[in-house]
Amino acid sequence: MNIKFITIGLVIIGALYFGTEKYWQHEFEEQQRNELKSLTFDEKMQEEIRGLPIKGDILNQYPNIFLYMSFTADLPKNIETQIKSKLAENSQKLICRYFSEVSDQDDKYKDRAKAIVNVIEEDNITMTYIAKNRLGDILLEHKQVLSQCPEFINLKQSIS
């Protein structure tokens, strides 16, 4: 009789332990999804372009996120070509830098990092960076699947 109670007690404790872990993992994933679904052009982003002849906006059609950058002043043709090349060099870094910020955090954020990796892989999130001149002509369009970012791959390997 006592063996049955001990066995049932151990099963209940085990179920609570593993169930709690699964519950919190699901909660972290939902939190990440909600953060990505509500991604907007926030104050930090506004501060980065303050004083520059640039206007930014984000069109969030989760899991497809579009980041628009438009120049508000006319640019000479020679400078426009230089800007095109610089934008092409930096567009992937701009989109993928979030993952390097996450991987630099403490070990206590491992569960959050696991949730980020799961959400990015399950939802196949893509970001498209579109830069336009003042007239609306597209200078650069760069589409990045977030799970293919080198920083994401490093983050995934660091939590494995």
**What is the mean pLDDT for each group of 10 consecutive residues in the chain (160 residues)?**
80 78 88 90 76 87 93 82 80 82 71 90 94 89 92 87
In sequence order, the 6+-apart residues with CB closer than 8 A to the CB of 113 are 102, 103, 105, 155, 158, 159
47 burial via Cβ count (<10 Å: 0-12, 13-18, 19+): exposed
Q: How far apart are CA 118 and CA 27, in angstroms?
A: 12
Rg (CA), the chain: 22
- Buried b / exposed e over 62-80, threshold 16 CB at 10 Å, is ebebbbebbbeeeeeeeee
pLDDT number for residue 108: 66
pLDDT number for residue 143: 94
Q: How far apart are CA 144 and CA 47, in angstroms?
A: 24
Q: How far apart are CA 52 and CA 157, in angstroms?
A: 37
Q: How far apart are CA 40 and CA 155, in angstroms?
A: 24
What token pair was written down for 153?
Answer: 């791959």
pLDDT number for residue 19: 74
Identify any residues that bridge with 70 across adjacent strands, giving them in sequence order.
Answer: 55, 132
